[in-house]
Amino acid sequence: MAEKFVLVTFGRQQDFSAQQTPSWYNRILEIETLLKEHGHQVLDDKSLDQLEPDSIVLIAGSMSCKDFLKRCLPLLERSASLCVVLDALQYRSQILPTLADFAERDVQLLVTGSVRTLVQAKRHVRSAFPKADNSMTSAIFADIDCDDPLILTFAGTKPEEVGCLLLPGGFILPFVETLRQGCARETMEECFFNPHASGDHDRFTYLIDPACFELIDEQSEVGRDERGHVIENGFAWFMPKEVQAQVIAAVSGGDEVVPGTAKFRRVSEVLAGKVAYDHRHLIVRSMARLAEKKILARFAEAGN
C-alpha cells in the first residue's frame, strides 16, 4: 500500500517578491509542487479538519513553539508519522530547542531533500543511501593534577548495563546539533538532570559549554554496534580547578541512571571493575591524552 503524504503549512498567507523570496519559503513551494505532482494533499493550518487519517504529515512554514505544542503534536493521533521539514521553517532557530525534546520520541526531523526521496521512492525508504548513525560519549575528569584523577560515571538501568559502570553519552539529534552540542546535552540529561525543573531554563543542574570537550578518538568499525553502523565519537573534558567544586556538587542522575550512582570516582576504581560497552577504551585513551598535556605543560613552564 502506497504511503500518503500531506503538507501542512503554517502562516501560508505571505507575499514575497521574486527577488526577496526567502529560502525557507522556496522550500515550501518546492514541496507543494512535488506533492501535487504525486497526488498528495497540500493544506494550510486553517484546514486541518481535511487531513486524511494515517498520512505522513509534513510540517512547514511560520510555526511558533506554541503552534507546535498546541496544534501539531495532537496530529500524531491522526497521522502515521509527524515530520518537521527544518529548511522549510521560518523560525527554525527559535523552535529547534522545543523540537529537540520530541525528536527522539514522536517527531522526525527532515530537510527538503529527504522529503523528495520519500515521496518519489518506488519503495518506502527513509533515505536514498544507507546512512551511519553518530553517537557521542563523554569522559569528564576532575582532580586532574592527581595521578589517579576522578571521572564521572554511573550505573545504567538497561539489562546489558547491570553490574557495570558507564560514561554519559548517546546519539546525535540530526539537523539539530553538532557533535559537541550533542555530547553536552546527553551528559546533562544523564548526569545533571534537575527533577524539580519548572521549565527549560532550569532543566539541568549545571550547563556544560560544548566547547569544553575535546575529541579523543572515533570508532567506526562495521559491526561494533548491533543497532547498526554507528560512528562513536569519544570526547573528554579535563575540568579546571575553578569549576570543579560546582560541577561535582551539581551531579544528579537522570531517568536512565540507577538512583544515587552518578558521581565522580577514581579512575583506578572504575577500571578495576566492569565498564559497559567500549567505554574502557575511551577512559584509557583520555588518560593518555591527559598525560601528554601534562608533559607539554612542563615543557612550556621550562621554556619560560
At residue 258, the pLDDT reads: 96
The answer to whether 275 and 283 are in contact (CB under 8 A) is: yes
At residue 58, the pLDDT reads: 92
pLDDT digits (tens, 9 = 90+) for 36-72: 999 999 998 888 888 888 888 999 998 888 888 888 8
At residue 53, the pLDDT reads: 83
Question: From CA 113, how far away is CA 100, in angstroms rounded?
Answer: 20
Query: pLDDT below 50 — which residues of the chain?
Result: none
3-state helix/strand/coil string of 188-212? HHHHEECCCCCCHHHCECCCCCHHH
pLDDT digits (tens, 9 = 90+) for 189-200: 999 999 998 877
Question: From CA 217, how far away is CA 169, in angstroms rounded?
Answer: 14
Question: From CA 134, how far away is CA 5, in angstroms rounded?
Answer: 28
CA 82 to chain centre: 18
The answer to whether 141 and 239 are in contact (CB under 8 A) is: yes
Amino acid found at 13: Q
The answer to whether 167 and 283 are in contact (CB under 8 A) is: yes
Q: Which three cell numbers stand for residue 288?
A: 593518555
At residue 289, the pLDDT reads: 97
Q: How many CB atoms lie within 10 A of CB 74?
A: 12
Taking every pair of Cα atoms in the chain, the longest distance, rounded to a whole number of angstroms, is 75
DSSP 78: T
> Beta-strand (E) ranges in the chain?
5-10, 41-44, 55-61, 79-89, 107-110, 133-142, 150-153, 169-171, 214-219, 230-238, 263-266
User: What pTM did the predictor assign?
Assistant: 0.76
At residue 249, the pLDDT reads: 97
At residue 70, the pLDDT reads: 82
Q: How many CB atoms lie within 10 A of CB 273?
A: 11
The answer to whether 194 and 202 are in contact (CB under 8 A) is: yes
Q: What are the start-end ranges of the H helices in 64-174?
A: 65-67, 92-102, 112-120
Q: Which three cell numbers stand for residue 44?
A: 494550510
Domains of the chain: 5-120 (3.40.50.850), 133-303 (3.90.79.10)
The burial class, CB within 10 Å (0-12 / 13-18 / 19+), for 287 is buried
At residue 125, the pLDDT reads: 53
Q: Which three cell numbers stand for residue 52?
A: 486524511
